[in-house]
Amino acid sequence: MNTYFIAGHAKLPQGMAARNLYDSITITVELDFKYGVIVDSSCTLATEHGREYIRQLLRGYCLREGVEELINRVQRHYRGKAGQAIQAALKDVYLQYELALSK
């Protein structure tokens, strides 16, 4: 198996439906480690539609390119209250990716 599982976390803002279930958002990615490409992902948003939308937004992105374009993609396309938290969780995913590369 040539994939890795990486998780990133960030605190959710007040007033969100997902906040009733979780205090933080978790984004997980299955990553092809040889190429740095996100094969699949999931997140802890409250609705299935939101979770699937984020999944589609992340799929196929190459983390070797850095995280900024992925953050820009979220800023352009996601207009929910969790936008900042999603961006922070993605930065955490990228940090975990960099740590794994250094080992």
Domain ranges, ordered by start, for the chain: 3-101
If you search the block for the tokens 């070797």, which residue do you land on? 64
Give the strand order in the sheet containing 3-11. Answer: 3-11, 24-32, 37-43
Identify whether the C-beta of residue 26 lies closer than 8 Å to the C-beta of residue 89: yes
User: In this predicted structure, what is the pLDDT of residue 85?
Assistant: 93
pLDDT-based confidence at residue 21 (cuts at 50, 70, 90): low
pTM of the model: 0.89
> Which overall architecture, per CATH, does domain 3-101 show?
Alpha-Beta Complex (3.90)
pLDDT-based confidence at residue 15 (cuts at 50, 70, 90): low
